[in-house]
Structure formats: C-alpha cells, structure tokens
C-alpha cells in the first residue's frame, strides 16, 4: 500500500448540516463538511520520486505546493469529521477534542492562505507547512491519551450496566484509517519540504538507492542496544535473502518497521 494513497469519498452527503464544534461558524462547519466529501488524489512513491527529480526544481516545488494547497484540506477535513463522529462519546474526550481542534485550525490555515502562484508565495506556503508539521508532532500521543480516557469511561459505563460490548465500534479500523492518513499526509508534506533541502542520494525524503539490508542492520543495532539496557543481553541477528537489493524508498519508514 502506498503511504499517500487516495481515500474513498465519504458517502453520506446528507450530513452537510451536522455541526462541527470548534469551527467558527455554521459556514465554517459546512466548508469542512464539503471538503470531507471530496475525493483525495492517489499519489505513489514512484510518482513523487520522478516528479522531485525534475531539473527545474523551482517550477516543480511551485506545482507541488499548488497540489498540496488543493489536496491537504480534503484529507484534514475527513479526519476532523471522523474524530467528531466517534461513538461512546470518544469524540468529546478532552484529548480527542484537542486533536480535532488542531485539525480544524490546520484546515482553515490552509484554506485562508492563497494558492501559491509565485516562488515567494511558495516559500511562504512551505514555511507554513513546516510549522503545521511541528504542531502535529504530538497527535499520536494525544490520541493514545484519548483512548485511555475512553477505556476509563467505558469501565464506568460497564460498572453501571450501561455499556453493551456486543454493539462495540471497531476502533482498530478507525485507528488504521486515521494513522494511514496521517502517514500519507506527512509523506506528502515532508517530501515537499525536503525538496527545499536537497541531500546527496535523496529526492526529498526518498532515498534513490535505499538498501533495506543496510537500514535493517542499523535498526538491529538500535534494538540490540535497547535490549541490552533492559535485559543485559541481546540475541544475534542474521540477515538472509537479497541483502544487496536497492530501491527508491523512505529509509526512515523501513527503520521504524525493522526496529519494531
């Protein structure tokens, strides 16, 4: 699965009248709903790598910025809407409200910024994206806090005989959608930002000749260090198979997977 794959459009267009708390007005709430119903474009890593490798870097980054200006509000609006509609009052847990408001604020920052049409406007847009990425760094931890708040809430309802586990919501599916979308957005934005900071052997965040075996060895060393600190000993790891293979990929993502 590509990290920036398209998401299916929301089906219930009749929900345009639902109120989104945190939006400044009914018009703002409707704007979020409108964007949440639009189709998100499919972008593959191969396309990002080929696009970023163009010789005219200024033109490429301007086109990419215009694409993100159109695309990111769709993805962000969907997450804001889904967070609002969570069952068991999870959408009203303080941590989840905090995340939803962060997504809504990001949505309106993007919508109120003019679409970049010059290199200077593109640089300002990219600086805003960089700041937005930093603001969203803690989302994963905040969502985890929200789930803990939910567990405490459901425990209280269970003791009071109010909670029916047979009618439970699939929170695993929600988390899969939420985090896959989060990864996709961070890949799109991170790729664009890093095109402004070229590194040898990389196109944005994509390493042109990434060696999975080399990344795995680094992950093994990191995992062994943690293991030795915790248990005093760590097993040896042997890498088998196509250890010389190279391919365009994001080494940071591979390292995370291998380390886990």
Long-range CB contacts (< 8 A, 24+ apart) of 213-218? 213/239, 213/242, 213/243, 213/244, 213/245, 215/251, 215/254, 215/255, 215/258, 216/254, 216/258, 218/255
Residue 194 has pLDDT above 60, yes or no: yes
pLDDT at 156 (0 to 100): 81
For residue 40, what are its two tokens? 């998100």
Question: For residue 5, is pLDDT > 50?
Answer: no
Taking only the tens place, the pLDDT of each residue in 40-54 is 999 999 999 999 998
More confident call, 13 vs 186: 186
Whether residue 22 has pLDDT greater than 60: no
> Tokens in use for 128?
């805003």
Each domain of the chain, given as residue ranges in start order, spans: 13-199, 211-259
pLDDT tens readout for residues 108-138? 999 999 999 999 999 999 999 999 999 999 9
The pLDDT value recorded for residue 98 is 95
d(CA 235, CA 220): 10
Above pLDDT 70, what percent of the chain?
88
Q: What's the average model confidence in pLDDT over 16-27?
A: 56
Higher-pLDDT residue of 19, 209: 209
- The pLDDT of residue 175 is 87
Query: What's residue 253's pLDDT?
Result: 96
pLDDT band at 24 (very low <50, low <70, confident <90, very high): low
Per-residue model confidence as pLDDT tens digits over 151-177: 887 788 777 776 666 556 678 888 899
Strand partners, 247: 210
Higher pLDDT, 246 or 26: 246
Rounded alpha-carbon distances, angstroms, from residue 207 to 222, 248, 260: 21, 6, 21
In this predicted structure, the answer to whether residue 3 has a pLDDT above a threshold of 80 is no
CATH (residue range 13-199): 1.20.140.20
Q: Is the pLDDT of residue 230 over 80?
A: yes
Whole-model pTM: value is: 0.83
Contacts 24+ apart (CB under 8 A), 14-22: 18/84, 20/80, 20/81, 20/84, 20/104, 21/84, 21/97, 21/100, 22/97, 22/100, 22/101, 22/104
pLDDT, position 169 = 67
| Cross-strand pairs, 244 | none
> What mean pLDDT do residues 172-200 have?
93
Higher per-residue pLDDT: 161 or 30: 30
Which has more pLDDT, 24 or 56? 56
């Amino acid at each position: 699965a590509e990290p920036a794959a398209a998401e299916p459009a929301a089906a219930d267009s009749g929900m345009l009248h639902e109120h989104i708390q945190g939006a400044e007005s009914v018009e703002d709430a409707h704007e979020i709903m409108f964007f949440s119903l639009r189709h998100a474009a499919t972008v593959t890593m191969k396309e990002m790598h080929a696009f970023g490798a163009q010789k005219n870097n200024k033109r490429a980054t301007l086109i990419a910025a215009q694409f993100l200006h159109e695309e990111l509000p769709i993805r962000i609006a969907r997450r804001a809407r889904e967070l609002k509609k969570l069952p068991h009052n999870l959408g009203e847990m303080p941590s989840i409200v905090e995340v939803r408001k962060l997504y809504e604020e990001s949505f309106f920052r993007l919508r109120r910024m003019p679409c970049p049409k010059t290199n200077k406007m593109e640089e300002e847009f990219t600086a805003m994206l960089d700041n937005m990425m930093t603001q969203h760094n803690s989302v994963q931890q905040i969502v985890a806090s929200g789930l803990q708040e939910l567990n405490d809430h459901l425990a209280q309802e269970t003791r009071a005989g109010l909670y029916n586990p047979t009618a439970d919501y699939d929170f695993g599916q929600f988390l899969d959608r939420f985090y896959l979308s989060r990864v996709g957005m961070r890949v799109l934005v991170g790729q664009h930002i890093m095109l402004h900071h070229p590194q040898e052997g990389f196109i944005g965040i994509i390493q042109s000749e990434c060696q999975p075996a080399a990344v795995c060895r680094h992950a093994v060393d990191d995992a062994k260090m943690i293991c030795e600190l915790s248990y005093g000993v760590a097993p040896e790891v042997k890498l088998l198979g196509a250890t010389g293979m190279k391919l365009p990929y994001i080494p940071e993502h591979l390292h995370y997977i291998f380390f886990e």
